[in-house]
Structures are given as C-alpha cells and as structure tokens.
C-alpha cells in the first residue's frame, strides 16, 4: 500500500507550494488555445498542462465532466492523463463529486480509488448530502489503499447555503457536522489526514457564523475560488485564519489562461506558487 495520501500531499505542498492546478477543458478554453472542442482537444490540453506543472504544483485536479462530455474517447483521454501523472509522480485529485448509496457508491469508489482501475486517481471529491455514511465505501477503500477523499462542506455557490447552512434538530449547522465527521476520520493521522474538506475561498464569514473550527483539525482544505473567482491571499487568510497552512489553492482559469505555451504555463504556475506559499 502507498503511504497515506495525507502524508504524500503534505510532502508535495512542502516541495512545490500549495497550488492545485485545475484542468477544466471547457469549450471556450479550447477555443482560446486554438484546439478543437473534441476528445483530441481535451487530450492535448491536458497533456500540455501536465508537462508544464510537473514539479511546480502540489497536484493536478482534472474536472471529469469536461472529459466525459466527449464520450468514450474523452474518458480515454482522462484515463491517459491520470496514468501519465501517476508515471510522473504527480498527485491527482479527480473532481467527480461522487455521492450515492450502497453498491453504487462502492462502484464509484472502485472506479477511482482501487489501484489498477482505468480511472485511478490519488484522491476524489465527494458529496455527503445523501448522509455522511453514504461515503463509507469510498472512505474505507481510500484508507485501505493510501488514497484520499475530499468531502464537500462549504461551497461558494449561492444555493449551497440551502443545505449547508441548515440546522439539525440540536441546532448544529449541517456544514459543521460534516466537518466534525471528517475530522473524526482523521483522528489517527500524525499530521495531515487523508480525508479532506472542500471549502470555498469566497465563503466569507460562514465558517465562523456556523461555529466551524478549521484550525484545530487535520483535514487538508481544498479551496476553489481563487484567481478568476475573486479570492486571493487576503481572502485565504480571512476565511481560513490559522488553518491557512493546510489550504490547497485550487486555480484553473488563472493558470490555464497563460496557455497554450508550455513555458508560459510553467511561469504562471511558479508565480502562483510563490504568491500563495
């Protein structure tokens, strides 16, 4: 079994900085790069980004949907990207936001967290809003094989508050309960746990308003919202306060806009890593 994902992630951040490079090959980006909006286009974009950021970011985060929209050839391009990253020793967080029950969740876990699976990644994103227990197949398989799971807790989309800010019968906010349950999964971790949280960098005072303590935990904090969505160093330090050292700065447009030149992408990655280190 590999070393725990949390340990490997912490080492990658120490070596390369906290930036996670989102690979989101949507149609406007492909057009801006002069690439076709097809499976070949997403393959070429993904390969260029990986070449540029290898050794310059903590991890890559491909968004599965932008590959899936091109059918089996698009999924094959994602398989190849994940395999090439694994060969290079680049950590992968596959953004799939899986969340289901029973055998279906087990199948999702098999697809992404079992060693040797065609779509194997080092970690995946998951949604706990069918109940945290619904994630158990993924959590158990990840623990068995040294993989990671990032659990949606506080997202920055306006409608997220309808569920995440809601209160349970005892008054505890749903998002706070998710954070507490994630931290229970990390109870035995020496430093960083392998079960992380997704907390948007643009959620403002929501953690404090909901009574969420991010500082005392061990969960790595995957934080979208940087760059084009408006968050920067000030927002990171305000939202995450004393937990800033565990924040993974997820950037996509702010990085990919430097393409398609590999050298320009690498320079952009280095500038972002230095900014948030």
DSSP string, 22-86: EE---HHHHHHTT--SSHHHHHHHHHHHHHHHTTTSSEEEEBHHHHHTTHHHHHHHHHHHHHHHH
The CA dihedral of 137, 140, 142, 144, to the nearest 10 degrees, is -140
Q: How far out from the chain centre does Cα 95 lie?
A: 6
Catalytic residue numbers? Answer: 97
The CA dihedral of 157, 159, 165, 168, to the nearest 10 degrees, is -140
Which residues, 6 or more positions from 257, have their beta carbon under 8 angstroms from its beta carbon? 32, 228, 268
Spatial distance between the Cα atoms of 153 and 100, rounded to a whole number of angstroms: 16
Would you call the peptide bond into 260 cis, given omega within 30 degrees of 0 as the criterion?
A: yes
Spatial distance between the Cα atoms of 79 and 192, rounded to a whole number of angstroms: 28
For residue 113, what are its two tokens? 């967290």
Spatial distance between the Cα atoms of 252 and 258, rounded to a whole number of angstroms: 10
């Amino acid at each position: 079994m590999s070393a725990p994902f949390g340990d490997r992630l912490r080492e990658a951040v120490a070596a390369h900085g906290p930036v996670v490079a989102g690979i989101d090959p949507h149609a406007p980006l492909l057009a801006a790069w002069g690439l076709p909006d097809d499976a070949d286009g997403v393959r070429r974009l993904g390969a260029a980004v990986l070449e540029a950021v290898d050794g310059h970011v903590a991890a890559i985060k491909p968004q599965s949907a932008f590959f899936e929209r091109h059918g089996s050839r698009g999924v094959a391009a994602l398989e190849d990207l994940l395999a090439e990253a694994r060969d290079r020793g680049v950590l992968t967080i596959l953004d799939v936001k899986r969340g289901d029950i029973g055998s279906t969740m087990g199948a999702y876990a098999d697809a992404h967290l079992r060693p040797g699976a065609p779509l194997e990644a080092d970690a995946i994103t998951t949604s706990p809003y069918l109940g945290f227990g619904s994630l158990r197949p993924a959590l158990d398989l990840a623990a068995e094989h040294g993989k990671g799971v990032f659990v949606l807790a506080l997202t920055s989309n306006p409608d997220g508050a309808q569920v995440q800010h809601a209160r349970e019968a005892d008054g505890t906010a749903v998002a706070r309960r998710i954070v507490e349950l994630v931290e229970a999964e990390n109870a035995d971790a020496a430093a960083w746990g392998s079960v992380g949280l997704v907390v948007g960098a643009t959620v403002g005072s929501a953690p404090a308003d909901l009574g969420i303590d991010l500082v005392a935990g061990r969960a790595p904090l995957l934080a979208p919202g940087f760059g084009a969505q408006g968050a920067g160093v000030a927002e990171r330090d305000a939202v995450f306060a004393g937990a800033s050292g565990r924040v993974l700065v997820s950037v996509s447009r702010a990085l990919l806009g430097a393409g398609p030149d590999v050298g320009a992408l690498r320079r952009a990655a280095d500038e972002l890593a230095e900014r948030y280190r």
